[in-house]
Amino acid sequence: MKLHEAAPAPNCRRVRIFFAEKGIEVPIEPVDIVKAENRQPPFLAKNPLGGVPVLELDDGTCIAESVAICRYIEETHPDPPLMGVDPLDKAVVEMWNRRMELELALPVMNVFRHSHPFFAGRLEQVPEWSEASRRLVETRMEWLDRELAEREFVAGDRYTIADITALVGVDFGRVSKISIPEALGNLKRWHQAVSGRPSAEA
């Protein structure tokens, strides 16, 4: 199998970290999103929506969407478990991963999408939505800081995909000058810990 990806894209980094935590190495096929290579027929044949990453299996099957790729790897390489170990744990991890996607990572990405010149002409930018998303990120970081007062990782006492999603979201904020406020000690402690894992360099 091989991974079609664009290194700067946050969802691509999410998959790379997941693979690194699993100890899996796959060939990388770079996709130049600046030159809109992902909008050309060869790539659209792999993912009609044009998004990266895409995992292409040896039989030609293509899996798009980062969490779907992670799910496939989790099922084929179950150790270490990153998406739960039993029905309840899997549900809790999924709950927190979705929260990190929708309440943190997505607003961070929307700040970028609706304000950065890269997306001018690629989508309809709404500057007001960018600013609203920036405010939402601030409140969600405060919320997550309170949650992390009670546990080491986002979904409990073990590192999971929820931590990966949150890390990617927080780090992607740098391009829009979003950072963790000094007052949020629990969030900063968590961020330092997960950033120190070797996989964070993937």
- Residue 192's Cβ-count burial label (10 Å; 0-12, 13-18, 19+) is exposed
Q: Does 129 have pLDDT greater than 90?
A: yes
Residue with tokens 């073990």: 158
Lowest mean pLDDT among 18-22, 96-100, 120-124, 180-184: 120-124
Confidence of residue 121 (pLDDT cuts 50, 70, 90): confident
**In this structure, what DSSP letter does residue 57 have?**
P
Q: What is the pTM of this model?
A: 0.96
pLDDT tens per residue, range 147-158? 999 999 999 999
Determine contact, residues 178/104, Cβ cutoff 8 Å. Answer: no
Nearest to 53 by CA among 71, 28, 34, 78: 28
Phi-psi region at 50: left, alpha or beta (left = phi > 0; alpha = psi -120 to 50): left
Determine the straight-line distance between the first and last CA of the chain, rounded to whole angstroms: 18
Structure confidence at residue 18 (pLDDT): 98
Six-digit token pair at 126? 């709404």
Query: Residues 51, 64: contact at Cβ < 8 Å?
Result: yes
Write phi, then psi, for 88 (nearest 5 degrees). Answer: -70, -45
pLDDT digits 0-9 by tens, 19-32: 999 999 999 999 99
Res. 72 pLDDT band, cuts 50 70 90: very high
